[in-house]
Amino acid sequence: MEEAGVGWIAAIIIGGIAGWLAEMFMKSDTGILMNIILGVVGAIIANAILGLFGVTLGGWLGYLVAGFIGACILIAVGRLIRR
């Protein structure tokens, strides 16, 4: 997160927004705490996956996009496991 220029408080705020956007997009029903967790963990996972392809997203907007992508992936994986 520090590499992207985003501090911990900003990561929580951006992660919450990214998790909320993913919740709306994937039509899941999670709470605010789970949205924050999905956004932050999703951003870490998405940055790792995108890094394998040589894509780097930096700054607040990049962290938001990565958080959204990662949160959608986590929601989809969670749905697969529950079935």
Each residue of 20-40: b (16+ CB within 10 Å) or e? Answer: bbbbeebebebeeebbbbbbb
pLDDT digits (tens, 9 = 90+) for 20-38: 999 999 998 888 899 999 9
For residue 38, give every residue at least 6 positions away whose Cβ sits within 8 Å of its Cβ, in sequence order, or none: 15, 18, 19, 22, 23, 30, 67, 70, 71, 74, 75
pLDDT digits (tens, 9 = 90+) for 30-63: 888 999 999 999 988 998 898 899 988 878 898 8
What pLDDT band is residue 5 in, cutting at 50, 70 and 90?
low
CB neighbour class for 53 (10 Å; exposed up to 12, middle 13-18, buried from 19)? exposed
